[in-house]
Structures are given as structure tokens and as C-alpha cells.
Structure 1
């Protein structure tokens, strides 16, 4: 088919500028409204990220001008990932900073559609490594799937299962029956100072600073209304660890039955965040103190 000369010229110009047009496609940054973006992520079954930055942060400026201008990355974000930007000049973003203990910017937090924090990166990053990281996390097991049914203490025992390896001994005779329970109050006190910030990551040199040491305590989430015998507990440990990707321990009640405790978190904030995730999936629990490391 013959194409008129002027149309050939227009087609050539279009092909010439097409890469630039694709390159210029902006990332659709949503407001850092955690509840709203979680709901949208569930509705669309997409992972979502929260990108912490500020206009005075040089590494953040570098990422805005380079990383997020990459055509392949911006196309992937627009198709597969919901993106929210938390500007630390705004009060709402400072609440999220405090909630997720963001101590360096730029920081990217990646969440599953159900709101589980999958991973975090506290450094500036180029487009290709960022894309590979997101694709690695964007796997089927991190998307919405059928949740395990609520556990009933009358569940029948299945066929013998392989031995499960625990992150710490499953049974500790000296362990007290009633571990201290933590209230469901906010994970941070009102008088606690917000975490310090440090600009970090290549290709912009990091600014070093020292942070206060952690308390050394660890916390887990004990499932409510779940009290089972030892064989049933062993079977459920494997199911829970595969489902939630958290270590699971047994807590004896002193009468031959056991509670199930999920997770090993260094702060109450992280434990309450995981508890909130469980509650959205119709599981009740409470945060308990595991140990003093």
C-alpha cells in the first residue's frame, strides 16, 4: 500500500517522538490515605507501595528525576502496583512515618492487597533494580487468596504430618502460662519523639547518624479462641506459617493444650500492624510479650 509523502513524514515524526512520549508518562501518585489505598488494593487485587520523600531530600529529587521517569518502570507501576507518596512536609505523612518507623528517606514500603508489609527499602534506587524488586514481590502468594477457615478446637486430626521446625523451642516447661498481655492502644506513646531521619542510598552519598538502641523485647500475636491438643497444634503450625509467612510458637495452658502465637516482632507497633492484618481476615488475637532478648 502506498502512503502519501506527507503522511510518511508525520508517521516518521510520531515514531521519532514516541519513546519520549512514553518516557514522559508520569507515575500516578495517590494521597497517603492508608485506609483508602488498602481498600482500593483489595478491590483491584494489587500490591501497593508508600514512597516516603520530601522536597528538601536530594536523593528523593534524584529518584523523581531519574528512577520514576523510566518508561518500563512507570508502565509497570501503572498496570500492576498502586503508588502513594508520603511527603514528610505534611502532618498526615508524619503519622505514617511514626507508624512504620521510617528513619531514613527515601524509603519505599511494599504492601500486599490485604495490607501486610512485605518488604521495605531505605535508600535511593535506580529504575532497573526497583523494577526487579517489585516483580519479585508481586507473586501469587502475595495476592488475595482463600483465607484459612477459622480454627475450631474440635477440628479432627488429619493424617500424620512431617515434623515442623520451630524458630525457638515449641515447648518450654518453665514458660509461664499467662504471658503479659498488651493493651490495644496505639503502638507509640503520645509523648514519644518522632524518629530521626537520614538521607540514604546510592548514587547520593548517605548522611550518617546514630539511633537509639531497641529495647530487646519481642512480641507476637496470640490467636483468640484457639486452644488445641498437641497433634492438632503441630498441624496448624505448618498451615499458619505457610499462609502468613510468620514463625509460629506453641504456648501451653498447663492442662495439655496449647495456644498459637504468630510472629516475632521487635516492636509493639509491628505486632499491632500484623494483628490489624489478621483482624481484616476474620481472625482475632492479642499482642503478647514473647521474651526479653
Structure 2
């Protein structure tokens, strides 16, 4: 009896061990087929999706291999179809973006060109608004703006500024005798001479008619007189001609230096203008420095 029980017990344990081994082998076989048929394709599909997301394009540049015709295979096929659709949409979208960028670049080039043309036109208008068309000197508007700015700067910082005004002597006679063409030529020549004698820091201007002015910055009366003497010498030596006729041209000049008693730019202008007409009264072709001793007088004709 004991021998039989021992034999049955041994048989039981052998069968038990065999079943465990068989179950393990069967489990491995099931796992292998499951991994290769389900887990592996799903893993590859997951990796492909992560790749598409990480690239930022939402698609990958290849199709996944379909190894079965079951639901996993159909899932991979659907992924491939969706991937191709997204790739096609991506390429179409980028083509449209590239085309739009090309059009935008062309529009930007046109806009930049138009902007440059507009800036040139505005610069030209600004120049025309502040430039005398005949002499190409700054005009009255530019002169008044500069005089006001420099006057107040002199007030604030106690800087020297001197104003010089010029009239062409007997200008009406030149026009009446030789025509307005001769008068225009004289004005152009005076403008040329004035530009030659002023410094870059000064402002020469035609104020209208036969009247010219020069704002001399950082200049005292003595320096202004030296400037005027050189200018008058230049006028005397210059050959004014029109239609082969030699023209006799002279200047009457008034000089006034800013002083603290002057409260507005008009006061400085009045002082220089007052000195100018004193030069005319004294015989023309000369300059006068303003002083409060100059008697009041009526303006004389050019």
C-alpha cells in the first residue's frame, strides 16, 4: 500500500510539473504570437504617430508595412491613408504659402519703391516750400523760421548773432532799361556771390524782390563788417552782363547785431532794415551798422 501511494504521489507531481511546463510553453507561444501580431504593430503605429507629432508636420514621410488583414492590419491601412492625406494637404498648403510669400515680397518691393518715391516727392516739396525758385537760395519763409530760432537761442545762451540785409541799388532802373530778364539775371548773380561769401553755419536768403538777407551765427559786428566789405568788393569786381550789355550793379547794406534789449526777432530785423535805408540815404553802394542814433526815416525806392 505504501509503495502504491508513493508511486501515485510521484506520478501526480510529475503530471503537475509537466502541466506547469506545458502551460509556460503555451503561454510563451501565445505571447510571441500576440506580440508579433498585435503588440508590435500597435507599438510601431504609436511610434509613427509620435514621430509625426514631434516633427510638427502631423505626418511621416513613409507608409507603415501592413502584415495582416485583421483589424490591426486595417488600422495600419487607415493610418497610412490618413498620413497620405495629411502629407498632400501639407504640400498644398506650403505651395500656397510659398506663392503668397512671393506675392508679399513683390508687394513689399513695390511698397518700398513707392515709399522712396513719396519721400523724394516730400523732400522736393519741402525744398520748394523753403527755396527761392530764381536764385535757389532759402526763401523768406526759411529765413523767418531760422531767424526766430537763432534769435531765441541767442537770448537763452547769450550767443552772438548778426543780421545783414541787402538791397540791389537802382534795381527798378535795370528792369526798366534792359527788361525783367536782366533783373532776374542780376538776382541770380547776387545769389551766387552771396553763397560764395557765407559760411556753412550762416543762412543766406532772398527775401523777395531785390532784397536779400544773411543770418550770421557766432558773429559780432566787426566780423560782419569784414564779411560785408568782401561781398561788396566781390560785387564791384563781378562782370554783370545781359544780352552782351554790361550792367552797373551795387548793393546797399544794413548790419545789426543782437543785443539784450531786443525782445523779439522783429526788433533785430527792424534794426538791420533801418541801417539799410540809412545806407541808401547816404548814397548807396555802402553799408551801415545800426545804432540807436540813426534818425527815423521813410523807406526809399530801390
The TM tier, using the shorter chain, reads under 0.3
Which protein has the bigger helix share? Answer: 2
| TM-score, scaled to structure 1 | 0.23
| TM-score, scaled to structure 2 | 0.22
> Which has the bigger relative contact order, CA under 8 A and spacing at least 6?
1
